[in-house]
Amino acid sequence: MRFYRSQRVEKLIREELSKILARDFEFPGALITITEVEADKKLDHAKVLLSVIPSGKEKSALQALNKNIGQLQHALLKKINIKPMPRIAFAIDRGVANAAQVEKKFLELE
């Protein structure tokens, strides 16, 4: 049962945080997408994986998000009424970049 609950919480965080970022934050020259949310079993922490385009803006995007993490956490708490609310942390999703590099290599081989 706990596994199902963590999946639902991950989905809720991804949906609501995406809305909050689109509505309340601007990232000039960058497109930020939440690719995945990974919550631990106890729902104490959730890692939010991001894709940033262009990749040169990843560092500045992470800094901006981490600077406003308290505000984002509070906004999430107002939208999602769960106890406990997982503490969020941001990280870059390298899977997207790695997949693009593999695809580029395949195209070069043709």
> Half-sphere exposure of residue 4, counting CA atoms within 13 Å on the CB side?
1
pLDDT at 39: 93
| Domain tally, the chain | 1
- Decide: helix, strand or coil at residue 24: helix
pLDDT of res. 54:
87
- d(CA 101, CA 105) in angstroms, rounded, equals 6
pLDDT for the residue 68? 94
Position 1 scores a pLDDT of: 45
**Tens digits of pLDDT across the chain (110 residues):** 446 888 999 999 999 999 999 998 888 888 999 999 999 988 999 999 999 988 889 999 999 999 999 999 999 999 998 888 899 999 999 876 556 666 666 677 76
**DSSP H or E segment with residue 18:** helix 2-24
Q: List the domain range (segments joined by +) for residue 31.
A: 2-109
| Run of H or E including 90 | strand 87-92
12: domain CATH number is: 3.30.300.20
Q: How far is CA 34 from CA 76, 108, 109, 110, in A?
A: 14, 29, 31, 32
